[in-house]
Structure 1
Amino acid sequence: MPRFARWTAAVAAALLITGCGSGSSGSGTDDDGKGRSGAPVSAPRQAEGPGLPASLTGQKLKWSRCKGASVPGGDWLCATLKAPLDWSKPDGDTIGLALIRSKATGDQRIGSLLFNFGGPGGSGIATMPSYASAVSTLHERYDLVSWDPRGVGRSEGVRCRSDRAIQAAESIDATPDDAAEEKAYLDDAVDFGRGCAKAAGKLIAHVSTTDTARDMDLMRQVLGDRTMHYFGISYGTELGGVYAHLFPQNVGRMVLDAVVDPTADSLGHAKNQTRGFQRALDNYLASTGQDPRQGSRKIAAMLKRIDAKPLPTSSGRKLTQTLALTGIVLPLYSKESWPILTSALKAAQNGNGSELLRLADEYNDRDALGHYGTTTHSQRVISCLDEKQRPTAGQVRRLLPEFERISPVFGDYLGWDTVGWCHDWPVAGQVDHAEVSAPGAAPVLLVGNTGDPATPYEGARKMADGLGKGVGVELTWKGEGHGAYGSGSACVDSTVNGYLLDGTVPKDGEICA
């Protein structure tokens, strides 16, 4: 079972945000190396780090109609960018990164606007076209561009185990209660990691956030933009922060929505999410007239009953405790889904697990035929390469009371998740936490939502402080759900649009009620 993603396809429509900064805009090009007006543009800046060969920086993308039933044709074109497998050896082996683009619809083009929808593991190829209507105003002046990051989807996407093996693992208790369950949980984690290593090969050591940030700057150069205009959501905010740290002089207009706390290690992220989801659950319970503390205890008791005796469902599968918890999580990503949660909880309390199982399947990207998507496989491969901290079962057992004090519903699961997620992983993690300091970069707009469950609101301030004085600019929305832009706040949307289109930087600390 995956940790609670910082992105999920089912609620992605509520997460949208775009990225830009202040000051001069980039001057992106068409395929012939000239601007939309036909005037030559200045050469893009060279990326930091090892010198890049002309075979990379000078490559011409061959845009053509996207192939595959999941990607529409029309104005959306796809291409493959060649990038180094190992960024420390830019003259070595390469991998192909799948890009998707729709050109600006108006005449006053600013440049390319690069989107990352989070995860890690979210596919930009699959997601970008569905967001065009939500960002139609931005589309007038920007080419909308996204991609499948390395290890994701069409960019050498990793599948660590079969559909049959994934479903079989549903019986594994992700909150083990005894030595036998703990052994089964950790053995399953080892098996998953081995499957990832076999599927990914050499790539498993080269899918870090830093690797992808360097890929982004190569995209910037090949697309012909002097600066990087970027739209980062959820995990995409961490990626944006790392990019700003590596290439502060190349930051253009950058907006980060649903901001990850860059100071947190793996245990810190788990505690943050425990607080965030409990806060969202409290807000949900209060909205239904329940006392949050009593309501949480009632749900926790129900989950314990399900742990002892899984609930029947109309599909014939059993609703386990872990699947039930996953089903509860999904509707908390969007306030509009709260009524669905009410119905599913009522049915489960009455002994029917069908509704919670449907929600869990949606979260886990399982279709009616039992086929699973690979987003969580890519998420695990990327995050385990990033995360240096690997807590042991003994350490977490000692910390479980703290997790459970934070949340009687989510604490036990998210505590154990820090052990099982990267247990005995085939490659070592790289960093304790993301490095985002970006002195000299253009202002970066950070949008925090006070009710965000997956990336709690406090992360926006931590990111602002991490980026540095005069760089991080915080905008607060007093709302619910994961992300703020496009979630119903005219104040947020107009502020972000003004920044992206006109370069108008709001006052740090501005609040949208």
Structure 2
Amino acid sequence: MLAVGLLVSGCSSGGAGPQTAAPSGGGTPGFAAPVVTPLESLPAAVPTALSPYYGQVLAWQPCDEGYECTTFRVPLDYAHPADGDLTLAAVRAPAVPSGSAAPSTAPSGSAGRLPPPRLGSLLLNPGGPGGSAVEYVEGAARTYDAGVRARYDLVGLDPRGVGRSSPVTCLSGERMDAYTAVDISPDDPVEVDALVAAAKEFAEGCRQRAGARLGHLSTVEAARDLDVLRALLGDERLNYVGKSYGTFLGATYAGLFPGRTGRMVLDGAMDPSLDSLAGNRTQAGGFETAWTAFAQDCATHEDCPLGRTGQQAGERLTALFAAIDANPLPTADGTRRLSEAQATTGVIQAMYADFLWPQLRTALADARAGDGTGLLKLSDAYYGREADGSYPNLMFANMAVNCLDLPAPFTGPDDAARAVPEFERTSPRFGRDMAWMALTCTYWPVPATGAPHTVRAAGATPIVVVGTTRDPATPYSWARSLAGQLESGRLLTYDGDGHTAYGRHDACLDGAVNRYLLAGEAPENGTRCGN
């Protein structure tokens, strides 16, 4: 069962003006469009009640190789700071001079070259919601551009409820195995009841284990936590690179604190003006676009198990899913069989990055031959399942944040069934699954605190919004919409496949982002890179 939706070529510059925000509501027949209001900024002055949090002193300690770790406190509820704290964890990769930026060794008084000045901290967030920024920095910091690493401390903060920051948990590993296998395209009332029961079990597990935290894991609260950390780091402005959900977190920060927003890159942008229904439906369309690109590429390889046309590929995938639905496939695990839901999840996982496409071709060929091992491996990777059967808190936090940020789209399974035809028109391959998937928040034990909104961030410095044309998880239309909402938005397009673009070795796009981060030179709105 999927978690609720929402995971080197030339450069040209276009003269397109800002794009207007896409209408919310999604156009699904029988469902009313929500009222979309602008996100209002917070007062510039720090409230007196929050002064103790902004006045903390970070105690950095060595951790792992070359990194420094710390923790700090934030209020559980910013409206009532006296009601208790949460402890958040952060990691820092200190700036390391590159060869060209190394301090001069020339004798005193000579014309030795001085290193360029440090630019402060650059906070990184890999997305999710639920992705650990601490783990991301520890794994990716050394892959960042040498110039960026020389002038910034790279900092990862696990958002509240995530990773090492007062994490939420909901189910045991055994129950998560069962949850991931539940049919998300029910064919009869019995399967509908099983899907509803799984959603209720997940929600109840979160309620029992998370307690009061469950009502205070919203993106607005996480953005306010970012501002506390910005102050504790000694930075006047927040410099930030966010990917996927990290773009929503970053845009929220910019909307709340436009005067404290520094150099901000939002890669694989989400559209805050969409409600949950429209978000899930358009995301289904993104995966359909990615599937079409995969099928076209697959047809060029001799080992493609899906035929030589898009129609053949779609028909064979549909037939495979139906066969697995009727008879789950054995796997090398021995005790676990591949369900239709896990097969679907496996295919979706491979849409996130085109380097996974060869693995998917092999997994699909094996599944057609009766072996579900490859697709189950991809499905397990989506959920982060470990070899010992344990799961990280990624999907628990994902659900908790999403169900707080937007009201549930459905009141029950009848609504989900009514939405299926429109979802299937958007995505013949994945629409049905993603319509039923949107049922999850219906049973959430705490009410949503957020709503669809636009983000203007009036007065903020240029904000670079990166969109990939065939991004499966954050469709390109979302980047166009967000860039158009932001008063200072600059749309930077990557014409290519996969989820997010910065750091994937496209010289044009990486160069544009790095120039912005290092020199403050934002790309012209409408710049295009890639194929």
TM-score, normalised with respect to structure 2: 0.85
Counting only pairs closer than 5 Å after superposition, residues 293-312 of structure 1 correspond to structure 2 as 293-312=311-330
In 2, Cα distance between the equivalents of 1:111 and 1:141? 7
Q: What do the CA deviations read for 1:11-69 (whole angstroms, capped 9, x no partner)?
A: xxxxxxxxxxxxxxxxxxxxxxxxxxxxxxxxxx9856743443211110111123xxx
Give deviations 1:148-176, integer Å, cap 9, x for gaps.
11011111101101111112334421221
2:480 aligned partner, one-letter code: R
**CA–CA distance in 2 between the matches of 1:412 and 1:5?**
13
Matched-pair contact (CA < 8 Å) for 2:5–2:283: no
Q: Distance in 2 between matches of 1:49 and 1:160?
A: 35
> 2 CA distance for matches of 1:297 and 1:49?
58
Whether the aligned pair in 1 keeps the contact of 2:468 and 2:501 (CA below 8 Å) is yes
Residue 233 of structure 2 aligns to which amino acid in structure 1?
Answer: L
Q: Residue 233 of structure 1 contacts residue 256 of structure 1 at CA under 8 Å; is this kept in 2?
A: yes
With over 3 angstroms needed to count, the CA separation of the structure-2 counterparts of 1:47 and 1:121, relative to structure 1, is farther
Q: 1:26 — aligned with what?
A: none
Name 2:398's counterpart in structure 1. Answer: 379
Partner of 2:371: 352
Root-mean-square deviation (CA), in Å?
A: 1.6
Q: Identify the residue that residue 449 of structure 1 maps to in structure 2.
A: 468
Q: For 1:430 and 1:385, how far apart are their aligned partners in 2?
A: 6
Matches of 2:202 and 2:45, distance apart in 1: 35
- Hey, what does 2:264 align to over in structure 1? 254
What is the one-letter code of the residue matched to 1:422? C
The answer for the alignment partner of 2:276 in structure 1 is 266
Counterpart check, 1:327 vs 2:346: yes
Query: Conserved in 1, the CA contact under 8 Å of 2:494 and 2:529?
Result: yes
Distance in 2 separating the partners of 1:389 and 1:157: 23
- Counterpart-to-counterpart distance in 2, 1:364 and 1:263: 27
Conserved? CA contact 2:282–2:426, under 8 Å: no
Which residue number corresponds to residue 143 of structure 1? 153
Q: 1:51 corresponds to which letter in structure 2?
A: T
Partner of residue 405, structure 1:
425
Is 1:500–2:517 an aligned residue pair?
yes
CA displacement at 1:500 relative to structure 2: 0.3
Aligned to 1:37: none
Q: Within 1, Cα distance between the matches of 2:271 and 2:319?
A: 31
Question: Is contact 1:436–1:467 with CA below 8 Å preserved after alignment?
Answer: yes
Amino acid of the structure 2 residue aligned with 1:461: R
Change (3 A) 1:403 1:390: closer
Q: Find the aligned partners of 2:134 and 2:513 in 1 and give their Cα distance.
A: 24
- Residues of 1 paired with 2:485 and 2:179: CA distance? 39
> Deviation of residue 449 (structure 1)?
0.6
Identity of aligned residues (%): 40
Q: CA deviation at 1:297?
A: 2.3
Structure-1 separation of matches of 2:315 and 2:346: 17
For the residues of structure 1 that align with 2:355 and 2:529, how far apart are their CA atoms?
Answer: 19
Q: Does the C-alpha gap of structure 1 residues 53 and 238 become closer, same or farther in structure 2, counting only changes over 3 Å?
A: closer
Whole-Å Cα distance in 2 between the matches of residues 217 and 184 of structure 1? 42
Per-residue deviation, 1:92: 3.7
- The structure-2 alpha-carbon separation of the partners of 1:352 and 1:146, relative to structure 1 and needing over 3 Å to count, comes to same
Q: Tell me which residue corresponds to 1:98.
A: 89
- DSSP 3-state at the match of 1:133: helix
The counterpart of 2:58, out of the listed 54, 61, 76, is: 61
Output the CA distance in 1 between the equivalents of 2:311 and 2:421: 17
Name 2:13's counterpart in structure 1.
Answer: none
Note the C-alpha offset of 1:111: 0.7
Task: Say whether the 8 Å CA contact 1:121–1:152 is kept in structure 2.
Answer: yes
Distance (Å, rounded) in 2 between the aligned partners of 1:370 and 1:232 = 30
Q: What SS does the corresponding residue of 1:140 show, helix, strand or coil?
A: helix
User: What's the secondary structure of 2:95's corresponding residue?
Assistant: coil
Counterpart in the other structure of 2:408: 389
For residues 47 and 62 of structure 1, the distance between their equivalents in structure 2, rounded to whole angstroms, comes to 27
The answer as to 2:220 corresponding to 1:203 is: no
Does residue 89 of structure 1 match 2:80?
Answer: yes
SS of equivalent to 1:98: strand
Distance 1:485 1:6 in 2: 20
Determine the C-alpha separation between the residues in 1 that align with 2:69 and 2:180.
36
Contact 1:186 1:423 in 2 (8 A): no
Deviations 1:356-376 (A, max 9, x none): 111111111112221222200
Question: Which residue in 1 is equivalent to 2:128?
Answer: 119
CA drift at 1:76: 0.6
Partners of 2:4 and 2:150 in 1: CA distance: 35
Q: TM-score, normalised by structure 1?
A: 0.88
Corresponding position of 1:282: 292
Q: Which whole-Å deviations, capped at 9, do the CAs of 1:102-145 have from their partners, x for residues lacking one?
A: 22123520011011110000111112111112213311000110
SS state at 1:348 partner: helix
**2:469–2:493 Cα contact (<8 Å) kept:** yes
C-alpha distance in structure 1 between counterparts of 2:52 and 2:356, whole Å: 48
Answering whether residue 70 of structure 2 is matched by residue 79 of structure 1, we say yes
In structure 2, the gaps of 5 or more residues are: 8-41, 98-114, 300-307
Runs of at least 5 residues in structure 1 that lack an aligned partner in the other structure:
8-44, 67-72
The Cα of 1:486 is off from its aligned counterpart by: 1.3
Which piece of structure 1 moves more, 235-244 or 430-439? 430-439
Contact 2:5-2:280 within 8 A present in 1 as well: no
Query: What is the deviation of 1:4?
Result: 6.8
CA shift for structure 1 position 387: 1.3
Task: Find the residue that maps to 1:144 and give its secondary structure.
Answer: strand
Counterparts of 1:123 and 1:117 in 2: how far apart (Å)?
Answer: 7
Which residue does the alignment assign to 1:463?
482
Change (3 A) 1:49 1:63: closer
Distance 1:349 1:4 in 2: 28
1:178 aligns with 2:178: no
Counterpart CA distance in 2 for 1:170 and 1:486 is 31
Tell me the equivalent position of 2:451. Answer: 432
2:250 to 240, 246, 252: 240
Q: Is the 8 A contact 2:5 2:279 kept in 1?
A: no
Please say if residues 4 and 399 of structure 2, whose CA atoms lie closer than 8 Å, have aligned partners that are also in contact.
Answer: no
Within 5 Å, give how 1:33-52 maps onto structure 2.
50-52=47-49
Distance 1:54 1:357 in 2: 49
- Displacement of 1:418 after TM fit? 0.7
Aligned length in residues: 467
Deviation, structure 1 residue 422? 1.0
CA, structure 1 residues 46+82, in 2 after alignment: closer, same or farther (shift >3 Å)?
farther
